[in-house]
């Protein structure tokens, strides 16, 4: 059996992999939904756009569900504290996501322009709101979340929903939205042709420019934000003890890991170069390569946030010593071990059936296909 320290690191990495998988796979679905009202100018064009992701979107939701389940199982204290503090934000995400299954299934059932237009905007909300909220949540994590624990380790959140909408968090929300829109634009350009593809390329390139600019600004801004640093000795292989450490806040603390491990600078470089490369590849219509480059950008952006905060997972702005870290917010050794071996079995299965589904349903989606399958197409 792997030792406790190793499992803590593995599960920190695995949660990151699941978040990246969610952003790449379900992210391109959401990006397509975000672009839907703008790249489809009439009913048939919008049906083409919807059918590029229609066969896959619900399967891609597995990444979202698995990420939430892994967070609950591996970091139960983080799960409980986050869903308490970000309750209204999570409710907003869930309500936005409600539009997706209903919109996909019912949008084309009735031949009525108002009906279809309403569900088109519903799919837009379901695609645009979650990435924005998730980005805002990450921005608040980097600034610290106002919560504390009592002696019984009952957490109390002292902030409000509106406090989440601060300038830096809104900026990271823009980063997240642009990242997902680029992912959707690259995928849509690969699955369509003609005017729809041209509009998808234009949208993807625009999103790439916004992503590069906002990511750079967020990185510069982060140097002046008070980060967190552990000042006491922590038993990284010991049992979780949230309140036993000492933590200080200081400007530039989130940049410390890059000073200790300079190779980590490759991650933000990957985020920027992937986005820039995706834009250039879209402009020359190398759409599959653009999607791959965009996916690497997702890896770079999300990994940058993760390694900047490490070992912190959810810092507390009102009680820094109560900040949740990789070392003290995890499940038991046995739980992490069982989930690790289960992941080794089921993760490859998810990758295999997902790859098979995309291979079977590959190729361009055209208006002729929609007309030929009027009753089965979305």
Kindly tell me the burial class for residue 231, based on how many C-beta atoms sit within 10 Å of its own C-beta (0-12, 13-18, 19 or more): exposed
Distance CA(355)–CA(222), nearest Å, equals 37
User: What single DSSP character describes residue 330?
Assistant: -
Residue 258: per-residue pLDDT: 94
Q: Which residue in 69, 239, 78 sits closest to 149, CA to CA?
A: 78
User: What single DSSP character describes residue 232?
Assistant: S
Residue 327: per-residue pLDDT: 93
Indicate if the pLDDT at residue 130 is higher than 90: yes
- Which DSSP string do the residues of 139-191 spell out, in sequence order? HHHHH-B-EEE-TT--EEE---TGGG--HHHHHHHHHHHHHHHHHHHHHHHHH
- How large a percentage of the chain has pLDDT more than 90? 68
Distance CA(357)–CA(292), nearest Å, equals 18
Cβ atoms of 371 and 102 within 8 Å: the answer is no
Indicate if the pLDDT at residue 375 is higher than 80: no
What is the average pLDDT across 88-94? 92
Residue 237: per-residue pLDDT: 86
What is the average pLDDT across 356-370? 85
Query: What are the C-alpha distances in Å from 360 to residues 156, 233, 357, 373, 374?
Result: 49, 54, 5, 17, 20
Distance CA(37)–CA(112), nearest Å, equals 17
Residue 336: per-residue pLDDT: 93
Other CB atoms within 10 Å distance of the CB of residue 306: 17
Indicate if the pLDDT at residue 75 is higher than 80: yes
Q: Which range is least confidently modeled, 69-83, 197-211, 263-277, 306-320?
A: 69-83
Both structure tokens of 129: 């709101």
- How large a percentage of the chain has pLDDT more than 70? 100
Distance CA(98)–CA(198), nearest Å, equals 30
Query: What are the C-alpha distances in Å from 374 to residues 111, 191, 298, 367, 378?
Result: 12, 19, 35, 10, 8
Other CB atoms within 10 Å distance of the CB of residue 234: 16
Residue 135: per-residue pLDDT: 96
Where does the pLDDT of residue 58 fall: very low under 50, low under 70, confident under 90, or very high at 90 and above? confident
Where does the pLDDT of residue 170 fall: very low under 50, low under 70, confident under 90, or very high at 90 and above? very high
Both structure tokens of 357: 């589904």
- Tokens 């020359």 sit on residue: 284
Where does the pLDDT of residue 66 fall: very low under 50, low under 70, confident under 90, or very high at 90 and above? confident
Residue 22: per-residue pLDDT: 92
Both structure tokens of 326: 């990789």
Distance CA(239)–CA(71), nearest Å, equals 18
pTM beyond 0.75, yes or no:
yes
Residue 366: per-residue pLDDT: 83
What is the average pLDDT across 213-241? 92
Q: What is the pLDDT of residues 269-298, one digit of tens each?
A: 999 999 999 999 999 999 999 999 999 999
Residue 160: per-residue pLDDT: 87
Where does the pLDDT of residue 263 fall: very low under 50, low under 70, confident under 90, or very high at 90 and above? very high
What is the average pLDDT across 138-162? 90
Indicate if the pLDDT at residue 358 is higher than 90: no
Distance CA(121)–CA(129), nearest Å, equals 12
Residue 68: per-residue pLDDT: 86
What is the average pLDDT across 5-14? 94
């Amino acid at each position: 059996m792997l030792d406790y320290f190793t499992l803590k690191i593995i599960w920190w990495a695995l949660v990151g992999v699941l978040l990246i998988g969610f952003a790449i796979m379900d992210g391109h679905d959401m990006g397509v939904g975000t672009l839907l009202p703008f790249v489809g100018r009439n009913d048939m064009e919008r049906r083409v756009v919807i059918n590029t992701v229609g066969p896959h979107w619900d399967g891609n939701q597995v990444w979202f569900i698995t990420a939430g389940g892994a967070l609950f199982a591996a970091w139960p204290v983080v799960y409980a504290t986050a869903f308490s503090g970000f309750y209204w934000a999570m409710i907003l995400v869930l309500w936005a996501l409600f539009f997706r299954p209903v919109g996909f299934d019912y949008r084309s059932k009735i031949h009525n322009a108002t009906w279809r237009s309403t569900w088109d905007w519903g799919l837009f909300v379901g695609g645009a709101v979650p990435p924005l909220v998730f980005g805002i949540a990450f921005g608040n994590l980097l600034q610290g979340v106002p919560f504390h624990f009592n002696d019984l380790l009952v957490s109390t959140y002292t902030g409000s929903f509106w406090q989440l909408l601060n300038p830096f968090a809104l900026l990271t929300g823009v980063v997240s939205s642009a990242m997902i829109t680029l992912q959707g634009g690259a995928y849509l350009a690969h699955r369509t042709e003609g005017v729809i593809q041209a509009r998808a390329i234009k949208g993807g390139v625009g999103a790439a420019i916004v992503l590069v600019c906002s990511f750079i600004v967020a990185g510069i801004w982060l140097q002046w934000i008070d980060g967190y640093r552990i000042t006491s000795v922590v038993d990284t292989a010991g049992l979780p003890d949230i309140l036993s450490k000492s933590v200080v806040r200081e400007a530039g603390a989130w940049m410390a890991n890059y000073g200790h491990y300079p190779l980590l600078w490759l991650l933000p470089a990957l985020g920027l170069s992937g986005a820039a490369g995706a834009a250039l590849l879209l402009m020359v219509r190398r759409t599959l390569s653009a999607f791959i480059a965009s996916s690497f950008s997702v890896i770079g952006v999300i990994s940058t946030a993760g390694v900047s905060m490490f070992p912190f997972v959810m810092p507390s702005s009102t009680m820094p010593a109560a900040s949740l870290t990789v070392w003290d917010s995890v499940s038991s050794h046995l739980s992490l071990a069982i989930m690790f071996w289960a992941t080794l079995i089921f993760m490859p299965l998810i990758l295999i059936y997902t790859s098979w589904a995309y291979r079977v349903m590959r190729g361009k989606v055209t208006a002729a296909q929609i007309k030929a399958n009027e009753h089965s197409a979305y």
